[in-house]
Amino acid sequence: MDAGLGVSLNPWVTTGHADRGRRDRHGFAPMVGPDGTVAAGQASFACPLWRAWITAHFARFAGLGLRTLWLEDDFRYHNHAPLPWGGGFEPLMLERLASPAGGPVTREQVVAAVTAPGPAHPWRAQLQQVWRTAQLEVAAMVAQAVEKHSGGRSRLGLMSSGPDAHSVEGRDWTALFDALAIDGEAVHRPHFAPYSDAPGRALSSSVWLLELQRALRPPFVRSEPEIENWPHTSWSKSDTQTWSEMVTAQLSGADALFLNLHPMHSGHARRHPRIAGLLRRSRPALDLVAERAAGELGTCGVQLPVRPQASALTRTRHSGHLDDLEPDTNSAADFLLRYGVPVTAQDSPVRVLFGRQAWAFDDAEVRHLLAGGLLLDGTAAHVLSERGFSDLLGVTADETVGREEPAAPGPYAYEHLSSYAYEHLSPAGLCDVEDVHLSVNVQPALARLRPAVGTEVWTTVRTPDGRSWGAGRCLHTNDLGGRVGVLAATAPHLLPHDDAGRSLLHRMVRRLEGAAAPRLPLVSGGPHLIPRLARTPQGPRLAIANGSADPARPRISLPGGSGKAAATLLAPLSDPAPAPLVSADRMLTAGLELPAWGWLLVEWTPNADVGRGDEERGGADSLRERGTGRPGGSELPKPARG
């Protein structure tokens, strides 16, 4: 490395992304999809000839003394067009599966078994182990070759895809990075941002994906996110979005950033002088964020407990589709973050469990979750009801009813705020009870909730003509001391976002925290204000992105109030600037407007009385309620990696 400049290389192909009219010329054993489609130009991880080729390929480049050699994100089983879902069903893989399966198996038998509804067939975990082993063997071979031919100077980097898809593959993140490590070091390019222009609210997914993958990575692995730009032209993504995604990555504690900026097919960089301006104008904000993120101790928020091996345990809805094995970890994050609720992958007193991930936790773990604050969607409530936990939920979810399914007393249409909610929840931010309606019309399905005696029913679902269809949102304090909120919606992220929906969610989070210890800052003041909450040696630091095209003045509800507070405005492509804050009634309000794609950094020292209930202090989000919950539970056992 000279003058601070290091050079890395991504050969761009391992197994192959897609055929795109190409044909294999090396004699590699091709990938085969679950339906029997054979790839024309993509190789099987089990192919000995391909293994020798990829190892020699990386060994050759390792002799150049490069900083990092990257394994492209086609180093995976899923997403190999034109194969539906991906590969891994080729004869060489099925031969490997024969031993744990107890005899020869066919592709048709394997696909039917691993995707069959009901409890997971043993072949599912066995197939994932076969895939995992084959990939780890290749990773170790390439790492050994790179270490040898670079004299230990080069490192291997892994470009990955969405963690949900890798869960279907059975990826063991720690084992894979261990196999790739050279002298105890490896590098990761986490998947986190869209490839081209997107609405600002897409930052919610970026914030969560970076947080999730930080939890999946071993400590010895460097994080070097890539700001994608595809198709590779200067028109694919705006400078403003590029800047905001760079800040998002830097907030996550990235060790380096990779930028796709120069058009791939347009000749020399000097033809695009505007890119130099983008870099020059971006540097001040990135330097400031990097300096502050360096001392970060971790993140805080509502925990989204994730099992990397969830796909091995989930139950499918339909046979034959590997996509049904994917856990959906992003939707809950989008629902919370776009409503101003910070999230974390670390342990927290309040947790959210949505979808079929509820199958991924054993009974003891479920009881632990139910002993604290827990929010469930309709699918998770249905799963836990089926598993016998209805008494601790405070509701029974007997069924989920699809949008097009006939069901008495008619089709579901909207939620209506109940008289109980109007009486016991602060109406500030909510309209008159007669006027609060929240559409569920585009929900793919709703859970039919039967509340137990004593369960608080916050909303009821109505038909278009106003008849009661069932409970919409409920809250229950159970015999474990836990507080459980249940939504009938099976896809809460698809509920139309609005002010009333945000108010209800914020009040639900406060109740799930417990009256004795509300502590999370909750953000309002405009649509899609996306928070990221970090712990630092000096106190909390809240970063807020504006995911709306309109400017907004963020408002932060601080249950414990704040001592000294300061804010910094990061406007797109501008120098950082101090931002005024107005403090009143345990609320911090920005004294200026936050532009679209901009970030506001807010830091404060907590007051000594943090932990006293809002109802004692008369805060803006206080609840007119009976004192119910207790803080629940010890730390959830750390999941095994895999």
CA 203, distance to chain mean position in Å, is 11
Mean pLDDT of the region 93-98? 99
Q: How many CB atoms lie within 10 A of CB 259?
A: 17
The answer to whether 440 touches 488, Cβ cutoff 8 Å, is yes
Enclosing H/E stretch for 289: helix 274-293
Q: State the pLDDT at residue 490.
A: 99
Domain 324-513 in the same topology as domain 47-76+139-299:
no
| Ranges of H-type helices in 91-170 | 91-101, 107-114, 122-150, 163-169
Which of 253, 268, 178, 265 is CA-nearest to residue 222?
253
Cβ neighbourhood burial of 626 (10 Å; 0-12, 13-18, 19+): exposed
Amino acid at 616: E
47-76+139-299 CATH choice from 3.20.20, 3.30.1450, 3.30.700, 3.40.50 = 3.20.20
- Burial of residue 17, with CB atoms counted within 10 A of its CB: 0-12 exposed, 13-18 middle, 19 or more buried: middle
**Would you say residue 61 has pLDDT above 60?**
yes
Residue 441 has φ and ψ, to the nearest 5°, of -65, -30
Position 110 pLDDT exceeds 80: yes
Rounded alpha-carbon distances, angstroms, from residue 234 to 40, 43, 202, 267, 468: 32, 33, 20, 13, 53
How do the domains of the chain map onto residue ranges?
47-76+139-299, 324-513
CB 227, CB 250: distance < 8 Å: no
How far apart are alpha carbons 421 and 46 in whole angstroms?
A: 59
Question: Please, what sign has the CA dihedral across residues 78, 125, 333, 388?
Answer: positive
Q: Helix (H, G, I), strand (E, B), or coil: what is residue 298?
A: strand
Decide if pLDDT at 337 tops 70.
yes
Which of 493 and 267 is assigned the larger pLDDT?
493
Q: Which amino acid is at 230?
A: W
Q: Give the tens place of pLDDT for each residue, 119-142.
A: 999 999 999 999 999 999 999 999
Q: Are 458 and 475 in contact (CB under 8 A)?
A: yes
Q: Is the pLDDT of residue 432 over 60?
A: no
3-state secondary structure of 424: helix
pLDDT greater than 90 at residue 431: no
Q: What is the pLDDT of residues 481-518, one digit of tens each?
A: 999 999 999 999 999 999 999 999 999 999 999 977 77
CATH assignment, 324-513: 3.40.50.880
